[in-house]
């Protein structure tokens, strides 16, 4: 009888914990525009986070383009290099700015032409970063000469 009561208590505790985690993920998903309808679905959503104090500058660099990202916390060196994702494309080459407050990614004309207005711009560290940082959406009309 005692073993059954412990097992039930353990199951109740796990159910409560799972519901709490789901509630927390559901709240985080509200900020990124994704919706989790079940606890199982919530476990598979990549929540992401919004960059704080972020600035994005898209400029022409000869025949190609550069995307400059900066934020108040900067981009200090890490174990993994930052990966820029715009829509489905990933850009790995970058140059840090002075003081690590920003990074600049070169984008070829061909790659730029393949991007769509409204594509999400994110930075992640490594291929399996659980929470990429969002820098808004691409606006091709905002190119600075």
Tens-place pLDDT, residues 35-65: 334 433 333 334 457 777 789 999 999 999 9
CB-based contacts of 23, cutoff 8 Å, min separation 6: none
pLDDT at 108 over 70: yes
pLDDT at 84 over 60: yes
Go through the chain and tell me how many residues it has.
145
Q: What pLDDT does residue 82 have? A: 93
Instruction: Say if residues 115 and 89 touch (Cβ distance below 8 Å).
Output: yes
Q: What pLDDT does residue 48 have? A: 58
CATH number of 49-142: 2.60.40
Question: Would strands 55-61 and 64-70 be described as parallel, antiparallel, or unpaired?
Answer: antiparallel
Q: What pLDDT does residue 32 have? A: 39
Distance from C-alpha of 133 to C-alpha of 113, rounded to nearest angstrom: 24
Domain boundaries defined on the chain? 2-42, 49-142
pLDDT band at 100 (very low <50, low <70, confident <90, very high): confident
């Amino acid at each position: 009888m005692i073993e059954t009561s412990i097992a039930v208590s353990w199951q109740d505790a796990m159910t409560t914990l799972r519901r709490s985690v789901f509630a927390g993920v559901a709240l985080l998903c509200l900020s990124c525009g994704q919706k989790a309808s079940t606890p199982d679905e919530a476990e598979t959503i990549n929540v992401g986070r919004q960059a704080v104090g972020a600035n994005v500058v898209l400029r022409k660099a000869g025949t190609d383009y550069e995307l400059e990202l900066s934020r108040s916390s900067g981009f200090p060196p890490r174990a993994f290099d930052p990966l820029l994702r715009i829509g489905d494309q990933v850009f790995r080459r970058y140059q840090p700015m002075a003081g690590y407050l920003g990074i600049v990614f070169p984008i070829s004309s061909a790659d730029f032409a393949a991007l769509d207005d409204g594509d999400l711009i994110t930075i992640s560290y490594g291929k399996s970063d659980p929470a990429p940082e969002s820098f808004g959406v691409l606006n091709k009309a905002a190119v600075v000469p």
